[in-house]
Amino acid sequence: MSIALISHPDCLLHDMGESHPEQAARLQVIFEELVRAGLMDGLKPYLAPLATREQLLRAHSPDYVDAIFAASPKTGLVSLDPDTFMNSHSLTAALRAAGAAILAVRLVISGEVNSAFCNVRPPGHHAERAKAMGFCFFNNVAVAVMHALDHFKLKRIAIIDFDVHHGNGTENIFRQDERVLYCSSFQHPFYPFDGADTVSPHILNIPLPAGADGKVFREKIVEYWLPRIALFEPEMIFFSAGFDAYLFDEMSDLLLTEDDYAWVTAEIRKLADTYAHGRMVSVLEGGYELEGLGRCVAAHIRALGATTDK
Ligand SMILES: [Zn+2]
């Protein structure tokens, strides 16, 4: 069992202002916890390449990609929405984040590794085909899923998005694409105030009320996701791995724990082993409680199959 850990120092240089919760320290606490937990020896490190324009265009419109490149400032910050800003390094970081997910697809499909975790930022799941929002520029998971579908000719891919916010961008991009089974759990009503009314055979949204804990989360997943994923028989499974539904994350009011993240990962891994040759690609989305974030990611990576030296 080998797991790739993909990142790049450029992802640390994207900075949206001192008090912004989506900050470089998020990636650093994850690395520190993976070291502390003894997981690093079981992971194969890779540097993320830059996603190419051609790769981005599978999930985003040409005008949008051009606009993001044009918006990149030489100095200072430019605002793309009330929460989303670019500094002079943001474009490169966003290209590395999408490039990490693209590399993960190649490594996993070629069999070089069994699965991959991308410790990258900016996150991606709010980025729509032609819109940046919610800290996101390019939809890293959507770009990588399209790479697996178009370049590697896979026919069925499942995306598991357990970030506390609905992945409106991913839903927007795959709304009409039945090759993708998109499973998103999220607090509702809550930003981006979307997804609770979606009716689609291949979009399985689970809105959860404020205060919902792991018991509710697990019951809904057992009822709505696991049987439908098994019927779909995905050839590869992606995680939009956001950890902002964590009990102590002040961004939200859900009450998930490290054990809940380990549980959902282990359940999905069983399906991946049965239908998808164990092929899983996980990409970091949200998660803002710095102390817990590292432990949640470590629990997730352990459940992907990583071994520990302790
Ligand atoms: Zn989130």
Tell me the CATH number at 32: 3.40.800.20
SS (H, E, C) 49-106: CCCCHHHHCCCCCHHHHHHHHHHCCCCCCEEEECCEEECCCHHHHHHHHHHHHHHHHH
CA of 26 to the centre of ligand 1 (A): 13
Question: Is the peptide bond between 192 and the residue preceding it cis, with omega within 30 degrees of 0?
Answer: yes
* Within-domain flag for 228: yes
Residue 119: left (phi > 0), alpha (psi -120 to 50), or beta? beta
* Separation of alpha carbons 127 and 134, rounded Å: 8
CA of 309 to the centre of ligand 1 (A): 31
* Within-domain flag for 134: yes
Residues tagged active-site:
126
pLDDT tens for the chain, 310 residues: list them. 799 999 999 999 999 999 999 999 999 999 999 999 999 999 999 999 999 999 999 999 999 999 999 999 999 999 999 999 999 999 999 999 999 999 999 999 999 999 999 999 999 999 999 999 999 999 999 999 999 999 999 999 999 999 999 999 999 999 999 999 999 999 999 999 999 999 999 999 999 999 999 999 999 999 999 999 999 999 999 999 999 999 999 999 999 999 999 999 999 999 999 999 999 999 999 999 999 999 999 999 999 998 876 5
* Separation of alpha carbons 126 and 133, rounded Å: 6
202 closest CA partner among 164, 159, 161, 167: 159
The predicted pLDDT at position 310 comes to 57
Q: Which residue has the tokens 């590395």?
A: 96
CA of 171 to the centre of ligand 1 (A): 15
CA of 246 to the centre of ligand 1 (A): 10
* Within-domain flag for 168: yes
Give residue 162's domain range. 3-304
User: Hey, which residues does 207 pair with through a beta bridge?
Assistant: 186
* Separation of alpha carbons 167 and 180, rounded Å: 14
Distances (CA, A) of 123 to 46, 217, 238, 243, 244: 18, 23, 14, 12, 12
CA of 134 to the centre of ligand 1 (A): 8
CA of 310 to the centre of ligand 1 (A): 31
In sequence order, which residues have a C-beta less than 8 Å from that of residue 309 and are 6 or more positions away? 38, 39, 41, 42
CA of 287 to the centre of ligand 1 (A): 7
CB-CB contact of 176 with 253 (8 Å): no
Within a 13 Å sphere around the CA of 57, how many CA atoms are in the beta-carbon half? 6
* Within-domain flag for 243: yes
The predicted pLDDT at position 189 comes to 98
* Within-domain flag for 310: no
C-beta neighbour count of 211 within 10 angstroms: 10
Residue ranges of alpha helices (H) inside the chain are 25-36, 53-56, 62-71, 90-110, 140-146, 168-174, 214-220, 226-232, 258-275, 290-304
* Within-domain flag for 309: no
The predicted pLDDT at position 244 comes to 98
* Within-domain flag for 239: yes
The predicted pLDDT at position 308 comes to 76
CA of 22 to the centre of ligand 1 (A): 10
Q: Classify 196 as helix, strand or coil.
A: coil
300 closest CA partner among 267, 271, 265: 265
The domain tally of the chain equals 1
CA of 111 to the centre of ligand 1 (A): 31
CA of 284 to the centre of ligand 1 (A): 10
The predicted pLDDT at position 1 comes to 79
- The amino acid sitting at 33 is E
CA of 190 to the centre of ligand 1 (A): 10
pTM of the model: 0.98
* Within-domain flag for 225: yes
